[in-house]
A and B are shown apart, each in its own frame.
Chain A
Amino acid sequence: MPLYLNDEQTMLRDTAKDFIAEHAPVGHLRSLRDGNDPTGFSRDLWKQFAEMGLNGVLIPEAQGGLGLGHVEAGVVLEEIGRNLSPSPFLATAVAAVEALKGSAQAERWFPGIVAGETVAALAIDEGAKHRDRIAMTAERSGNGFRLTGAKQFVTHGHVADLLIVAARTAGSPDDAEGVTLFAVPKDAANLTATPERLADSSLAARIAFEGVEVDADAVIGEVDGGCGPLDRLLRAGRTGAAAELLGVGGGAMDMTVGYLKERKQFGVAIGSFQALQHRAAHLYAEMEVARAAVLKAQQLLDTGAEADAAVSIAKAMTGMATTLSVQEGIQMHGGIGMTDEYDIGFYMKRARVLAEMFGDIGFHADRLAKAAGY
């Protein structure tokens, strides 16, 4: 498979690009923020995504989806990133779908996701830094389980219809085995979700599970066998976040290059100054490196090849390139870049949140090093 988008993928990208730029440009985020919107995204827009068929991008055709792959999910995410569109797409249509795929729970939740009625959230992280450690417990109780523990950084957790929860059914927190994945409906008793607004004005919840009872059929896959679906969820989530970061970094870069051509000082466009040209060119090269890394990870996931290293490279590399992009973006905009009125700052805030999500640059570099034996 050549390492570029094929014709159908390019078409999908163009469709997503036009649609998202029209319906959810940066101004959409700005108005949600200015209105202090309690949901954090637009349910109407989520419906429109569904009408376009996008929510089912990774869902098999037999289950009402498009049956496409991570490259296709990624082209949508990149446009979401470029427009900073608040959307449950990454958590729901990408990560949750990958976790549910092939399980009995898929039958229950896929129709709502395809229809744009269901939003899923991922209750995975237990600390301020993403780690593989899972301490939350699920004890057998009656003919189901009782969940006890706390999760944080659960994007859309306060409004989600479905929570994908990783909890421990055996072993101790640092063990890789002994984890089970649960599909928990939002109306479960003894569950409190406290939303917090983040720097990028998105909402993420801290969730307390104080003996939440779920039926045995809430288990996704096998008891104690959550590693499989959890790994799938994380690989998809990390790759998806990398694609979204690519969009954020690319969007910031386009704004910056545009500004370099338009802003005049000393009687000339500032883009004619070589000091700035070189920084813009360096930034462009870094973004291109990141782009190739993301596509590589997506293609490997789609062919079912071993993709772990490529996924970590993609997430870490987009973290680095996009951080550079937003930082250079503000600097090269000068004073106006620091104003709330101008959009470039929104890019910086979103990049920071996505860089942290599913493991930051250091987390993924560390994983690679461990896998390579050092």
Chain B
Amino acid sequence: MTDTDLDTFRSDTRAWLAENCPPEMREPVRSDTDVCWGGRNFAPSSPAQKDWLDRTAARGWTVPDWPKAYGGGGLSAAQTKILREEMAAIRARNPLNSFGISMLGPALLKYGTEEQKLEHLPKIARGEIRWCQGYSEPNAGSDLAGLAASAEDAGDHYIVNGQKVWTSYADKADWIFCLVRTSKASKQGGISFVLFDMASPGVSTKPILLISGYSPFCETFMDDVKVPKANRIHDENKGWDVAKYLLGHEREMISGMGLASGGRNPLVEGAIATIGLDHDGRLADPVLRTQIALFEVRAKAFAAMSERFIDELKAGRAHPAQPSMMKYVGTELNKDRYELMMASGGSDALEWESERSRTGAMPRAWLRTKANSIEGGTSEIQLNIIAKRILELPGA
């Protein structure tokens, strides 16, 4: 595609967004309830939210770089980048948040059969099915391959028994992608990757309350759940490959949180609003000003690293451990950002239930970020990966 074609694409995209992105969808998301997750029980928080989802889904722009046959937009990498830039420029909200898009989709595209792709991908793209991730178990967190939930061979299906934990939104999800043990002969080599409907008999969930006061997490119990073998992705006992591939995408998604959103920096705006500027036009709290300025240096340098890794990935020269570096730096930065936002907000940022605080959106979001360096593999695990795979330090 020539530069002129890309320029045309950019102006068309800009015009389309101007027309189709409702003004309400150009405001930052204020709380978890503002986020569009789709699914069978989707209850839009506003008509604008529903319009925005419907219009983007119709163009395949919820998943712009997936093939059209699977509900995607069929855009090239360069076009996708332009679309994202144009959306960031008007601060458009993500039309659809979905573990289907960020995690399962890429794994299906790589490992799924044609039937499996045609069955699941379009529904993900349109936000019809909401997915959850059944990886962790009470005794398999960082040591994920130590999982015990078992899938017993019963001819054309498996009988699954066991317990998962920390399953985000399991109580709201329609389907789960789940790691199960199909063999005890080998730790990593005895795992299979299966999909099943959360409405299947024998599946139950129990929410876990978080420090943020929300309970997006669940314990998930599986009691003689019948899972057709046709729902297994990739070969039996080869699920670890799929799991690792998917984790790479999960890590990339989470690390994106460390990137500042386009345009004005809300952290700086917030600090100016509460603390004010002195007569030289500087933030009236010099220590906080310094901390914010140093944070800005790191955040913008991190944005450059992320750009570089994407460019290297596209050119096929990325190191496979790069997502670990993104995840580690991005999540630690995001935690720092929220610490600074809390420090800037002062007592306003502490209000937990008031209307003007939108039910404590700020402190709850701040607490939520503490999980960024735990979910999807802890910071310590990422550092282990960098030490072993990139620096090639000897195994302890």
Contacts and interface: CB of A to CB of B under 8 A. Distances in A.
A285 B383 CA distance: 9
Contacts of A273: 396
Interface string A360-372: 0110111011101
Contact of B301 (A317, A362, A374): A317
A309 B293 contact: no
A49 to B, nearest CB: 29
B289 A277 contact: no
A99 B388 CA distance: 46
A261 B387 CA distance: 11
A255 interface: no
Interface residues of A, number: 47
A289 interface: yes
A372 B268 contact: yes
Given A271-B394, A317-B298, A364-B297, A372 B304 contact: no
A271 B386 CA distance: 13
A288 interface: yes
A374 B291 CA distance: 12
Contacts of B394: 261, 268-269, 271-272
A265 interface: no
Given A4-B311, A4-B312, A280-B391, A274 B396 contact: yes
A301 interface: no
B290 interface: yes
A2 interface: yes
B145 interface: no
Interface string B319-341: 00000010011000000000000
Nearest to A367: B293
A274 B391 contact: no
B237 to A, nearest CB: 30
Interface stretch (B2-10, B41-49, B277-285): B277-285
A291 B380 CA distance: 23
A281 B307 contact: no
Given A284-B386, A288-B305, A374-B277, A366 B300 contact: no
Contacts of A293: 300-301, 304-305
B136 to A, nearest CB: 22
B185 interface: no
A366 B305 contact: no
Given A261-B394, A365-B293, A281 B383 contact: yes
B304 A295 contact: yes
A374 B298 contact: no
A4 B277 CA distance: 39
A3 B315 contact: no
Given A278-B387, A374-B292, A3 B393 contact: no
B295 to A, nearest CB: 9
A374 B393 contact: no
B297 A365 contact: yes
Contact of B393 (A260, A288, A290): A260
B296 interface: yes
B284 to A, nearest CB: 10
A292 B297 CA distance: 12
A291 B296 CA distance: 16
A281 B322 CA distance: 12
A210 to B, nearest CB: 35
A23 interface: no
A50 interface: no
Contacts of A370: 281-282
A257 B396 CA distance: 15
Contacts of B329: 285-286, 289
Interface residues of B, number: 46
A3 B311 contact: yes
B317 A4 contact: yes
B195 to A, nearest CB: 34
Interface in A1-24: 2-4
B142 interface: no
A271 B390 CA distance: 13
A296 B386 contact: no
A281 B387 contact: yes
A218 B169 CA distance: 72
B383 A288 contact: no
Nearest to A276: B393
B393 A372 contact: no
Given A365-B296, A368-B293, A373 B281 contact: yes
B199 interface: no
Contact of B390 (A282, A284, A291, A296): A284
A365 B387 CA distance: 30
Contacts of A278: 380, 383-384, 387
Nearest to A260: B393
Contacts of A289: 298, 301-302, 304-305, 329
A369 B296 CA distance: 8
Nearest to A274: B396
A316 interface: yes
A271 B393 contact: yes
Q: Which of B265, B315, B387, B395 has the most CB of A within 10 A?
A: B387
A184 interface: no
B271 interface: yes
B334 to A, nearest CB: 14
A3 B296 CA distance: 20
Interface in B222-274: 265, 268, 271-272
A285 B304 contact: no
A373 B315 contact: no
Given A257-B393, A284-B390, A292-B301, A365 B294 contact: yes
Interface in B192-232: none
B311 A374 contact: no
A293 B329 CA distance: 14
A313 interface: yes
Contacts of A282: 328, 383
Contact of A320 (B282, B297, B386, B395): B297
B312 A374 contact: no
Interface of A: 2-4, 257, 260-261, 268-269, 271-274, 277-278, 280-282, 284-286, 288-293, 295-296, 309-310, 312-314, 316-317, 320, 361-362, 364-366, 368-370, 372-374
11 contacts: A3-B308, A3-B311, A257-B393, A289-B304, A293-B304, A296-B307, A309-B300, A362-B290, A368-B296, A369-B283, A372-B265
Given A281-B391, A289-B305, 7 more contacts: A3-B307, A284-B325, A313-B297, A317-B298, A364-B297, A374-B268, A374-B289
Interface of B: 265, 268, 271-272, 277, 281-283, 289-290, 292-294, 296-298, 300-302, 304-308, 311-312, 314-315, 317, 325, 328-329, 380, 382-384, 386-388, 390-396
A-B pairs, top 5 by smallest CB distance, nearest first, are A293-B301, A277-B387, A281-B386, A365-B293, A292-B305
